[in-house]
Amino acid sequence: MIHKAVQVRIYPSKEQETQLAQSFGCARWWWNYALNKSIETYKETSKGLSRAAINALLPILKKAEDTIWLGDCYSQVLQATTLNLTTLNKREVNQEIDIEKLLPKCTNGLVILGKIFYINLVIS
């Protein structure tokens, strides 16, 4: 099977830039929140949170007064962020590296929209 990649430069409108920036911000916030919850749970129970357990927090947070803005972001963006976090967490734990070193370096500027489409955006 041959995989091909196509690199396309997009020029989003101001409204699209705002939506993308909001998606980046929500993904970054959700990554840090979920990572913090995973670390807390790991310290208390010596077990991490599963992807389903982390994603179960999303509807609760979207209805909460102080995080209602999460409802403006596409749910797939946040769920893909959870998938990236749990995948990285499994790899890091299997290699016995300190769990607190899981930083969102690999997710800066990357938003996953849907199953096969992602945007690595640099706004200049």
Q: Give the number of other CB atoms < 10 A from CB of residue 97.
A: 11
Alpha helices (runs of H) in the chain, residue ranges in sequence order = 14-45, 51-55, 57-63, 75-94
Q: Which two tokens stand for residue 98?
A: 């300190």
Domain-embedded: residue 57? yes
Q: Which domain holds residue 39?
A: 25-92
Domain-embedded: residue 34? yes
Q: Are 119 and 111 in contact (CB under 8 A)?
A: yes
Domain-embedded: residue 61? yes
φ and ψ at residue 119, rounded to 5 degrees: -125, 125
Domain-embedded: residue 86? yes
| pLDDT, tens only, 41-68 | 888 988 888 899 999 999 999 999 999 9
Picking from 9-13, 99-103, 119-123, which range would have the lowest pLDDT averaged per residue? 99-103
Task: Report the alpha-carbon distance of residue 75 to residue 118 in Å, rounded.
Answer: 14
Domain-embedded: residue 68? yes
Number of domains in the chain: 1
Domain-embedded: residue 106? no
Confidence category of residue 110, pLDDT binned at 50, 70, 90: low
Domain-embedded: residue 43? yes
Q: Is the pTM of this model over 0.75?
A: no
Confidence category of residue 106, pLDDT binned at 50, 70, 90: very low
Domain-embedded: residue 64? yes
